[in-house]
Amino acid sequence: MNISVIIITHNEEKNILACLSSVKWADEIVVVDAFSTDNTKKLAEEFGAKVFQVKWQGYGKQKNYALSLANGDWILSLDADERITPELAEEIQTVMPHSQMDGYQISRKAYFLGKWIRHSGWYPDYCLRLFRKDKARFVEKPVHEFVELDGKMDQLKGVLLHYTDTCLEHYLHKLCCYTTLAADELAAKNKKASLGDIIIRPSFIFVKMYVLKKGWMDGMHGFILAVLSSFYVFVKYAKLWEKDNSSYFS
């Protein structure tokens, strides 16, 4: 059973080597780079990955392109800021040869502003990341893409480490980009933003993360994360409202 790792990148020179090193045991590593302006491509090539460059098409399409280039029977999909632990690597290599499944979810643990988040609805965060190539495809959403699996699925015991946001500036930059993509997606479906969307949805997210999902147990990090997550929802629907009322600003 051959395993191909697929990674999409854009200006990930700070992350790419640690990510690649965590999967050096794989039979093949495919990196699809959106014409990075830093040393991402060079570092990946020097490591021994197969690097292809293509214009950015959106998260889902970019990952499906990477999927089409992979030769393995099994695919392990990673982001550049993620790492496979040695324990998870051993589990994958042990399970794969005799697997009767078509895909596996992996628990993801996030490192946010210098701390591992263990509550807040962020952990355990199970994601379908390991699957048979002929049984899965990425849904081509502009943001928050996911894998559709045609077959049987199970969960692995190991943990995938996600070094998500090292500073607030990084989080806020992503928030600006992702909320625009999310608002565009809603607008394409002819969705409208109501006052309830702008007021109630963000408030619910805060209560859900900080109270129901015990974000308070993550200390100040949990509070900040709940506030930022509710702000994300507020900005997304505010941008959707702005699109529908753009004539006001002309």
Domain ranges of the chain: 3-105+126-156, 168-249
Task: Report whether pLDDT(250) > 60.
Answer: no
pLDDT at 248: 62
Q: What are the Cα distances from residue 185, in Å, to 109, 144, 146, 175, 237?
A: 27, 11, 15, 15, 11
pLDDT in the model for residue 236: 97
Please compute the mean of the pLDDT values over residues 101-112 and round it to a whole number: 97
Find the range with the poorest average confidence among 106-110, 132-136, 240-244.
Answer: 240-244
Which pLDDT band, with edges at 50, 70 and 90, does 141 fall under? confident
Long-range contacts of 24-30, Cβ-Cβ distance < 8 Å, separation of 24 or more: 25/89, 25/93, 26/72, 26/76, 27/2, 27/3, 27/72, 28/2, 28/3, 28/4, 28/70, 28/71, 28/72, 29/4, 29/5, 30/4, 30/5, 30/6, 30/66, 30/69, 30/70
pLDDT digits (tens, 9 = 90+) for 60-80: 999 999 999 999 999 999 999
For residue 244, name the pLDDT band (cuts at 50, 70, 90). confident
Half-sphere exposure of 149 (CA within 13 A, CB side): 17
Q: What is the tens place of the pLDDT at every residue in 2-26?
A: 999 999 999 999 999 999 999 999 9
Q: What is the pLDDT of residues 156-186, one digit of tens each?
A: 999 999 999 989 999 999 999 999 999 999 9
Higher pLDDT, 249 or 156: 156
Lowest mean pLDDT among 23-27, 128-132, 150-154, 242-246: 242-246
Per-residue pLDDT at 246: 74
Mean local confidence (pLDDT), 218-241: 97
What pLDDT, on the 0 to 100 scale, is given for residue 249? 59
Question: What does CATH list as the number for 3-105+126-156?
Answer: 3.90.550.10
pLDDT band of 231, cuts 50, 70, 90? very high
Mean pLDDT value of segment 34-55:
98
